[in-house]
Amino acid sequence: MAQSEFEIDLGNLMAFDLHRQFPSTFSSREELVKEAIEQGTKLVQAVADALFNKPSTEELDGPIVKLPAPTTKLPREKPLPKPRPPTKWELFAQKKGIDKHKKDKLAFDEQTGTWKRRHGYDRVNDDKDIPIIEAKMTDEPGTDPFAERRKEKKSRVEKQEKNRLLNLKQAAKVGALPSHVQLAATALPITGTQARPQKVGKTELQNVAGMASTATASGGKFDKKLPGEKPPKHEKKYRKFLPAVEGSGMGALEKQQTEKVLNKLISKNSHDVLNVEKAVNMYNVKKEKKRRNNEGKPSTRSKLKPNKKSLKKTSKRVSSSKGKQAQQYEILYTKFCPLRPPLPSLLSSASFYIEGRREGTKRAEKRRKGDIFLEKFKF
Amino acid sequence: MRPLDEKETTLVFDKLHKFVGNNLQKIVMENPSHEGPDLNPGRYCFRLQKNRVYYVSESLVKRATNIKREKLVSMGTQIGKFTKSDKFHLTIQGLNLLAASAKHKVWLKPTSEMSFLYGNRVLKGGVGRITENILVNDGVVVYSMADVPLGFGVAAKSTQDCRKMDPNGIVVHHLADIGEYLRMEDEL
C-alpha cells in the first residue's frame, strides 16, 4: 500500500507501521478500540501477504514456508554474565609477560623417532614407555623410581585440582561462575535470584537420617553409623492399650468401648427380637391342647405352665371363634410391631416333650398340619 | 493383664451372644458382683492375661494390679482363650456364667449323660427336652434331667429338623463339658 509502509519481520511474524498517526484524543473507548482493530487488521494482512508470497513446499499437512531469520533484536532475558576474574596463573603470566602459544597436536618423540600425538593414546612422553631409569647418587637403595614418578605425577594432579577449585571460588565470590558449574552446584543460588543458601540444622539432619534409614529392609537397625551419629529414636511401645485399672475398676474409656461394641451387636441381631415362628408354634400348641381337652383326653401340659392357664382356656372356649380371631390378631400385631415386648410367660417356658410318635393318630395329623402352617411362616 | 482391644471385645461378645442372646447386656454392663471384700464390689469386666479372657469384678482387678505380670496366673472366672491366630474359644470354666443366662438349652436323658461327659456329641436319641426356635449354629447349653449344667455346644440342627430326624442324628456338637476338669486338667 502506497500510503503506509510496513516494516515486516517475517522471522518473528511481525509488522511495524512506521508512519503511524494516532489522533491523540478519542471521544470514547469503543472508538479507540475500533481504530486500533482497523490498524491492526491492515498490519496482519501485510504479514499474511508476505507469507504467501514466499515459495512454499508441499508437505502432508499442507504448504510449508521456511521463515527467514528475525531482524528485530529482542531484549535479553537474563543479565549479562560478569567477566571472570583472572586465575592465579593468568595473574602470574601477566606479571612475567608470558604469552600463550598454541601447541601442535603432533610432537616428535625422541625415543621412537616418530611423530606421536601430544595427548591421549600412544602419546609423546608417556610414563609407561620409559624402560630404564638410571640411578642417581642421591637415590636410596630400596626405593622404586617408577613408583616415585607415579607419586609425583599424582601430587602434581592434585595440586592442579586444588588450584582450579580456588580459582572457581574466587570467581564465585564475584558472582562470575561459569554456567555449567553454577547449574551443577545445587547448593548455590541461580544467578539473578535472591535466594540465600540455607544450612540444614543438626536435629533436622538427624531426624531426616532416621526417617531415611527406615526405608531399608531391616528398618535401619543394622546400618553402619557414622562417628557421632546417634541411633534413631522410637517409642518403646508399639501398640497402645486402654489402662488396666482406671479409678476403681472399669474406666470411662473402657465403658465406652464395651457399650459401643454391645450396641453394634444388639442392633445387628435386633430383627429377631420377636420370633414369628415361635409365636405361631405357640398358637398351634395351644390349639392342639384345646382339641385334646375337647376330646376328653388328659391334657399333658408342660409342668412349667402355671395352672391358671386352664381357666383362661375355658373362658376362651366359650367365645372360641372370637378368641381365635383375637389370637390371630395378637400374632399379627406382634409381628408388625416388633417393639412390643414378648409375653414372658410364653417365651420363657416354651418347650415340649418329644415323645414316641404314632404317626397314624389325630395328634400326629395336627402336628403335620402345624408343620405346614409353620412352613408358610418361615422366612 | 490388660483390658480387651476393640477387635477382641467384638470377638468375645459375638461368641457370648450366640449363647446368651440379649442377656449379654446384663452380663456385661449391669451385673452387680459378689466377689471381693469391698463394700461395693462394683461390676464385672473382662481382662486379658496371656491369651486367656477372665470375667473379674472391678475390686479384684484393682488388687490384681499389685501382682507382677509374669506371676499372675488367674483371676475371677476364666471364660475363654484366644488362639494363636486370634480366634476366641469359650472354655468350660465359663459354664456357670453361660448357664445362668442361656437362651437355648438341651436336656439329656440319663443314659446319654455319660457319653456327653466323655466328650462325644449329643445324638437325637439322647435328647430329653429341647427349647424351641433353636437355629443351626446357635450356642446351646447342655443340662442333665436334674437341671445340672453339663457343658455347652453348637446346635447342628434346628429344633424343627430335630423332630424329623432319625434317632442317631447329631443334635449338638460338643464344645466343652465338665468332664474336661478330669480329662484335660493340664490344659485348662
**At CB < 8 Å, which residues of chain A contact B?**
241-245, 248-250, 254, 257-262, 264-266, 269, 273, 275, 277-278, 281, 350-354, 371, 374
Q: CB distance from B50 to chain A under 8 Å?
A: no
**Position A379 confidence tier, pLDDT thresholds 50, 70, 90:** very low
Do residue A350 and residue B47 have CB atoms under 8 angstroms apart? no
Distance CA A317, CA A312 (A): 9
Is the predicted pLDDT of residue B139 greater than 80, yes or no? Answer: yes
Is the predicted pLDDT of residue A158 greater than 90, yes or no? Answer: yes
Q: Which residue has the cell 626405593?
A: A143
Lowest mean pLDDT among A202-206, A239-243, A295-299, B146-150: A295-299
On chain A, the residues whose CB falls within 8 A of the CB of B22 are 266, 269, 273
- Closest Cα in chain B, distance from residue A279 (Å): 10
Lowest mean pLDDT among A6-20, A141-155, A177-191, B147-161: A177-191
Q: What are the tens digits of pLDDT across the range B16-60?
A: 999 988 888 888 887 776 766 666 667 888 999 999 999 988 888
The interface predicted TM-score of the complex, written ipTM, equals 0.73
On chain A, the residues whose CB falls within 8 A of the CB of B14 are 265
In the prediction, which pLDDT does A354 show?
Answer: 41
Do residue A244 and residue B57 have CB atoms under 8 angstroms apart? no
In the prediction, which pLDDT does A365 show?
Answer: 65
Q: What are the tens digits of pLDDT across the range B165-176?
A: 888 899 999 999
- Max distance between CA atoms of chain B, in angstroms, equals 57
On chain B, the residues whose CB falls within 8 A of the CB of A353 are 129
Q: What are the tens digits of pLDDT across the range B70-125?
A: 999 999 899 999 999 999 999 999 999 899 889 999 999 999 999 999 999 999 99
What ranges in chain A are assigned the alpha helix state H?
Answer: 29-53, 88-96, 145-174, 179-184, 202-213, 252-268, 276-295, 308-318, 320-336, 344-348, 362-377
Q: How distant is the alpha carbon of residue A15 from its chain centre?
A: 50
Q: Which of A286-300, A358-372, B49-63, B138-152 is predicted most confidently?
A: B138-152
Top residue of A265, A275, A277 to mutate, by most chain B CBs within 10 Å, is A265
Kindly report whether the global pTM for this prediction surpasses the value 0.90.
Answer: no
Measured CA distances, A155 to A49, A78, A133, A158, A337 (Å):
69, 41, 20, 5, 100
% of chain A beyond a pLDDT of 90: 15
How many of the other CB atoms lie within 10 Å of CB of B99? 20
Higher-confidence position of A200 and A333: A200
| Pairing outcome for strands B139-144 and B105-108 | parallel
Measured CA distances, A353 to A82, A87, A300, B43, B158 (Å):
110, 114, 10, 39, 16
Helix (H, G, I), strand (E, B) or coil at A83: coil
Q: Which residue has the cell 446384663?
A: B26
Give the burial string for B110-130 (b: 16+ CB within 10 Å, else e).
eebbeebbeeebbbbebbbbb
- Max distance between CA atoms of chain A, in angstroms, equals 147
Distance CA A246, CA B2 (A): 11
Which residues touch A373 (CB under 8 Å, ≥6 apart)? A280, A284
Would you say B127 and B107 are in contact if contact means Cβ atoms under 8 Å apart? yes
Is the predicted pLDDT of residue A75 greater than 60, yes or no? Answer: yes
**Position A184 confidence tier, pLDDT thresholds 50, 70, 90:** confident
In the prediction, which pLDDT does A241 show?
Answer: 79
- Closest Cα in chain B, distance from residue A227 (Å): 40
In the prediction, which pLDDT does A245 show?
Answer: 73
Q: CB distance from B43 to chain A under 8 Å?
A: yes
Do residue B28 and residue A248 have CB atoms under 8 angstroms apart? no
Burial (CB count <10 Å: 0-12, 13-18, 19+), residue A21 = exposed
| A-B contacts at Cβ under 8 angstroms | 86
Q: What SS3 string covers A214-264?
A: CCCCCCCCCCCCCCCCCCCCCCCCCCCCCCCCCCCCCCHHHHHHHHHHHHH
Do residue A243 and residue B28 have CB atoms under 8 angstroms apart? no
Report DSSP state, residue B30: I
Is the predicted pLDDT of residue A165 greater than 50, yes or no? Answer: yes
- The one-letter amino acid at A6: F
Which of B17, B45, B61 minimises the CB distance to A265?
B17
Three cell numbers written together for B92: 468350660
In the prediction, which pLDDT does B26 show?
Answer: 84
Report DSSP state, residue A306: -
On chain B, the residues whose CB falls within 8 A of the CB of A355 are none
